[in-house]
Amino acid sequence: MRTLAQHVTSATSGIVRGLPAVLLRTEGAVVLTLSLILYAKFGSSWLLYVVLLLLPDLGMLGYVGGTRVGAVAYNLVHTYAPPAALALIGVVGGSPLACSGALIWFGHIGMDRLLGYGLKYPTTFHHTHLGMIGVRRRGD
């Protein structure tokens, strides 16, 4: 059994800090803003945007299978490759709905990064590449 100190050390390793963290959050803001601008120009209804914005968070259901399965499921829907593939399908296939879905998905990921919700590590739900989420840190 691991001690509390070992758990805290492993749960804080791999976290981006300083300027790189600021840049990653700024990138999130840029992606979210670009998503909103492109959606305003080419997307569907704003009701669809609002309804689907949190859909990628269903990836958290993977945590029912444990932290490793949960991290993989969450990360699969919180990286830019899947919405990029959907956008490509939408553009090549001429599907405005697929393009709208991709823009919403990009917006969700950008919003998460802006707010500090990063990709998950298999140690715990709270351990992300942008820091610990939902856990009071010592000194807070």
Angle made by CA atoms 81, 118, 84, in degrees to the nearest 5: 15
Q: What is the pLDDT along the chain (140 residues), one digit of tens a residue?
A: 554 345 445 556 778 889 999 999 999 999 999 999 999 999 889 999 999 999 999 999 999 999 999 999 999 999 999 999 999 999 999 999 999 999 999 999 999 999 999 999 999 989 999 889 886 655 54
CB 37 within 8 A of CB 110: no
pLDDT of residue 93: 98
| pTM listed for this prediction | 0.85
How do strand 127-128 and strand 131-132 relate by DSSP bridges? Answer: antiparallel
Answer whether 122's CB lies under 8 Å from 67's CB. Answer: yes
Q: How far, in Å, CA of 69 to CA of 103, rounded?
A: 26
Question: What is the spatial distance between Cα 131 and Cα 104, in angstroms, rounded to a whole number?
Answer: 24
